[in-house]
């Protein structure tokens, strides 16, 4: 019976691996759905991080890294080639096709970005050496537009209406994570106990990029952005440390740059947040930002820390998610495995009762 059960368990494990790996989007990892207690578990943050409340999120895919300068430049060049998706103003800011909705800065409009614009050749580029650093000075609108461009390029249905900026959560395209998805992913599956940071309760310069963290890209503020390349904290970082990918293999979920979430921000939202896949308030003045940045002290890097910014201000960066509604949750896998094990055990017992030799 034990041997039969182990055999079935091996088959279940192989099936789970195949299901999760098959068709996995490039540059993304599967975040298995589940429940967690969202908010500040240490009573050390703002009142907007309370009360602790149970939240369930469905499975989804998430970018391993923050979107880089090169990725965003490539997308802008693609959008430019499409004819009417973007507009570069006389101020060298990039706007949407309405010529009033700001998407991002260029080096000619802000010293904090590494995105270049050559008006002569009408080409976007990146300051040499900063290609693999996260894009800076992107508005919430610029992040949502990028999600639509990426969806179109991949043959998916875009998630955002670029006139109303409403998100269609039933579309199969890329979008910004909800605030609940972001915190769930940042915690990396560590829910017993709940950690202050994605890796534990303490922090030093080997863990993440923050104010005075000591990495070789810092020490020049202002005006040089002190970002580190995406995935820099992989075990080869300075100061020397461990590979800091969290339990879901995501990098930079604490520090480096702020990350836009899809949700509108409300200081009292946790009081009324629904349990099942919350999408945030229906409207607001600012959008949620998470993770903290290279210019923040340690407190802002906590998993529960909530920040916010007006959507047309380029103070946020981002990574994207994709729906994975066809992927069972961990609890679903467990149920399938237990069912098969029970069936296998029952078969073995039945065979023994009938006098059939079991090996």
Taking residue 284's Cβ as centre, other Cβ atoms within 10 Å add up to 16
Q: How far apart are CA 327 and CA 32, in angstroms?
A: 8
Region 316-331: mean pLDDT is 75
Q: Does domain 33-319 sit in CATH 3.90.1580.10?
A: yes
Give the residue-averaged pLDDT of 37-56.
98
The whole-chain average pLDDT of the chain stands at 87
Residue pair 37/54 in contact by the 8 Å Cβ criterion: yes
Could you tell me where the beta strands, DSSP code E, fall in 83-233? 87-88, 94-95, 102-104, 115-118, 123-126
- Rounded distance between C-alpha atoms, residue 51 and residue 241, angstroms: 34
pLDDT at 221: 59
- Mean pLDDT over 329-344 rounds to 39
Cα dihedral sign for 80, 84, 85, 87? Answer: positive
The reported pLDDT for the residue numbered 351 is 36
- Is residue 135 predicted with pLDDT exceeding 90? yes
Task: Please tell me the predicted confidence (pLDDT) of residue 218.
Answer: 81
Q: What is the reported pTM?
A: 0.85
CA nearest neighbour of 69 among 110, 144, 124: 124
As a whole number of angstroms, the distance between CA 69 and CA 317 comes to 10
Reported confidence tier of residue 355, pLDDT bands at 50, 70, 90:
very low
| Range with the poorest average pLDDT among 35-44, 301-310, 328-337 | 328-337
As a whole number, mean pLDDT of residues 59-64 equals 98
Q: Could you give the percent of the chain with pLDDT greater than 90?
A: 80
Q: Which of 63-67, 93-97, 283-287, 352-356 has the lowest mean pLDDT?
A: 352-356
Residue ranges covered by each domain of the chain: 1-26+327-359, 33-319
Supply 187's token pair.
Answer: 């915690």
Q: What is the pLDDT of residue 144?
A: 98
Distance CA 163, CA 306 (A): 27
- pLDDT on residue 1: 37
Which residues make beta-bridge pairs with 94? Answer: 88, 104
What average pLDDT does range 175-204 have in this prediction?
A: 98
In this prediction, residue 222 carries a pLDDT of: 58
Whether pLDDT at 219 is above 90: no
For the cut 70, the answer to whether the pLDDT of residue 17 exceeds it is: no
Q: With 60 as the cut, is the pLDDT of residue 259 above it?
A: yes
Position 24 scores a pLDDT of 81
* Mean local confidence (pLDDT), 159-165: 97
Give pLDDT, residue 224: 76
Amino acid 3: pLDDT: 34
Residue that is written with structure tokens 């534990």 in the block: 200
């Amino acid at each position: 019976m034990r041997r039969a059960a182990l055999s079935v368990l091996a088959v279940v494990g192989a099936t789970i691996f195949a299901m999760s790996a098959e068709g996995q989007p490039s540059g993304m990892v599967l975040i298995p759905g589940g429940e967690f207690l969202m908010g500040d578990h240490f009573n050390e943050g703002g009142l907007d991080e309370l009360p602790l409340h149970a939240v369930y999120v469905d499975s989804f895919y998430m970018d391993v890294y923050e979107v880089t300068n090169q990725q965003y430049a490539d997308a802008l060049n693609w959008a430019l080639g499409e004819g009417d998706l973007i507009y570069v103003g006389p101020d060298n800011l990039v706007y949407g096709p309405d010529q009033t909705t700001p998407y991002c800065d260029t080096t000619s409009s802000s010293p904090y970005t590494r995105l270049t614009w050559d008006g002569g050749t009408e080409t976007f580029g990146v300051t040499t050496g900063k290609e693999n650093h996260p894009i800076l000075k992107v508005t919430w609108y610029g992040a949502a537009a990028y999600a639509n461009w990426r969806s179109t390029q991949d043959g998916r249905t875009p998630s955002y209406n670029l006139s109303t900026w409403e998100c269609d959560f039933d579309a199969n395209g890329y979008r910004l994570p909800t605030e609940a998805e972001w915190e769930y992913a940042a915690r990396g599956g560590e829910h017993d106990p709940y950690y202050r940071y994605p890796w534990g309760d303490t922090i030093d310069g080997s863990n993440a990029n923050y104010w005075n963290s000591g990495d070789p890209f810092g020490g020049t503020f202002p005006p040089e952005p002190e970002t580190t390349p995406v995935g820099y904290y992989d075990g080869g970082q300075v100061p020397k440390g461990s590979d800091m990918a969290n339990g879901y293999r995501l990098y930079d979920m604490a520090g480096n740059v702020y990350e836009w979430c899809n949700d509108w921000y409300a200081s009292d939202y946790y009081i009324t947040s629904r349990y099942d896949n919350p999408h945030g308030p229906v409207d607001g003045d600012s959008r949620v930002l998470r993770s903290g940045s290279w210019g923040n002290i340690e407190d802002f890097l906590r998993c529960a820390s909530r920040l916010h910014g007006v959507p047309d201000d380029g103070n946020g960066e981002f990574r994207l998610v994709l729906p994975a509604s066809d992927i069972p949750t961990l609890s679903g896998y467990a149920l399938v495995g237990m069912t098969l094990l029970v069936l296998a055990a029952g078969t073995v017992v039945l065979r023994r009762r009938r006098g059939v030799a079991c090996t």
